[in-house]
């Protein structure tokens, strides 16, 4: 998979080259190119923003610079691409989106700053390729770069060969619609807190039941919306008895 990121702060994307993702890039599983939007400015001030039509706070990013940048970046590789534009006003990015993006040959991310990018940029490219305006949560960041780090990490870990232990991606929380329950490792007792006995019993049926119960309890307490979204047959009689 090829990933391109266009931003006025290329340094913000440096963490992509660390650790797991750094190894994925090194092993050729992932090809990441970060581009400085200002390379496509032509004025001495390298202006990328201007005042919003209709008034309002802050500045809006100019369409011309983004058009020149995205035309050049898209033309640099013939693989079909999906354009992903983080925004507070986007559709929520989910694990299902991460799986869908992991199947793409190429992702191009447009990182806005200020109050965002002139809407005509998204509208223009939506005539030529799939464009997603996505939010990573109901809070307002200063720009799209952190959202891109989140999305790239969620997608890259799903690529075959990137994770040392592929089972863990397959057994992600949300994969069965519930939050995952608590995890424990050695020592058996830590600061007078023992590991739950069932986990040391070797009784795999009882362990599976206990883990399911803890996942249900946690989901009820923290994410009742996930329960409501479960298909009707997702909870069995024992689940409902909890
Ligand atoms: N999930 C998520 C993604 C982002 C994100 C992504 C991309 C950009 C580009 C710029 N910013 C900053 C910014 C600040 C203020 C506004 C205006 N808006 C007015 C009404 C109330 C909400 C804010 C918009 C954009 C970005 C923020 N934040 N959170």
What's the CA angle centered on 22, arms 17 and 28, to 5 degrees?
120
In angstroms, rounded to a whole number, what is the distance separating the alpha carbons of residues 125 and 120? 9
| Residues with C-beta less than 6 Å from any ligand 1 atom | 86-88, 112-116, 135-137, 139-144, 147
In angstroms, rounded to a whole number, what is the distance separating the alpha carbons of residues 140 and 147? 11
For a mutational test of ligand 1's pocket, the pick from 141, 149, 154, i.e. the residue with the most ligand atoms closer than 8 A to its C-beta, is: 141
Name which residue sits closest to atom 19 of ligand 1, judged by CA. 115
Q: What is the pLDDT of residue 123?
A: 98
Instruction: Tell me how far apart the 2 most distant CA atoms of the chain are, in Å.
Output: 71
- Positions marked active-site: 88, 115, 157, 172
In angstroms, rounded to a whole number, what is the distance separating the alpha carbons of residues 116 and 118? 7
Distance 61 CA to ligand 1 centre (A): 12
CB-count burial class (<10 Å; 0-12, 13-18, 19+) for 35: buried
Determine the length of the chain: 242
DSSP 40-95: G--STT---EEPPTT--SS-EE-HHHHHHHHHHHHHT--S--EEEEEEEEEEEP-H
* Per-residue tens of pLDDT for the chain, all 242 residues: 999 999 999 999 999 999 889 999 999 999 999 999 999 999 999 999 999 999 999 999 999 999 999 999 999 999 999 999 999 999 999 999 999 999 999 999 999 999 999 999 999 999 999 999 999 999 999 999 999 999 999 999 999 999 877 766 666 766 689 999 999 999 999 999 999 999 999 999 999 999 999 999 999 999 999 998 999 898 989 898 88
Query: Do 145 and 109 form a contact (C-beta atoms < 8 A)?
Result: no
Q: Tokens 């008034």 belong to which residue?
A: 55
In angstroms, rounded to a whole number, what is the distance separating the alpha carbons of residues 165 and 153? 15
Query: Whole-model pTM?
Result: 0.95
In angstroms, rounded to a whole number, what is the distance separating the alpha carbons of residues 103 and 115? 31
Q: What is the pLDDT of residue 175?
A: 65
Residues sharing a CB contact under 8 Å with residue 112, sequence separation 6 or more, in sequence order = 61, 85, 86, 87, 143, 144
Number of Cβ within a 10 Å radius of residue 179: 18
Q: What is the pLDDT of residue 164?
A: 78
Q: Is the peptide bond before 187 cis (omega within 30 degrees of 0)?
A: yes
ipTM of this model?
A: 0.96
Q: What is the pLDDT of residue 166?
A: 75
DSSP 125-176: HHTTS-EEEEESSSS--SSSHHHHHHHHHHHHTTSTTTSS-HHHHHT-TTTT
């Amino acid at each position: 998979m090829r990933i391109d990121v266009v931003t006025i702060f290329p340094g913000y994307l440096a963490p992509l080259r660390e650790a797991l993702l750094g190894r994925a890039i090194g092993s050729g599983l992932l090809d990441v190119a970060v581009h400085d939007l200002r390379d496509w400015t032509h004025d001495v001030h390298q202006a990328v923003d201007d005042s919003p039509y209709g008034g309002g706070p802050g500045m809006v990013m100019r369409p011309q610079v983004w058009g020149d940048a995205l035309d050049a970046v898209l033309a640099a590789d013939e693989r079909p691409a999906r354009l992903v534009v983080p925004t507070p006003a986007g559709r929520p990015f989910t694990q299902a989106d991460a799986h869908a993006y992991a199947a793409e040959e190429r992702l191009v991310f447009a990182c806005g700053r200020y109050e965002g990018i002139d809407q005509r940029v998204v509208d223009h490219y939506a005539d030529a390729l799939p464009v997603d305006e996505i939010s990573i949560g109901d809070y307002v960041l200063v720009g799209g770069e952190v959202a891109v780090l989140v999305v790239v990490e969620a997608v890259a870990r799903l690529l075959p060969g990137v994770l040392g232990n592929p089972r863990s991606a397959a057994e992600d929380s949300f994969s069965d619609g519930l939050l995952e329950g608590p995890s424990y490792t050695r020592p058996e007792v830590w600061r007078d807190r023992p590991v739950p006995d069932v986990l040391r019993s070797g009784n795999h049926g009882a362990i599976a039941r206990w883990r399911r119960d803890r996942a249900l309890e946690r989901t009820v307490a923290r994410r009742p919306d996930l329960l409501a979204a479960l298909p009707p047959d997702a909870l069995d009689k024992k689940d409902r008895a909890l």
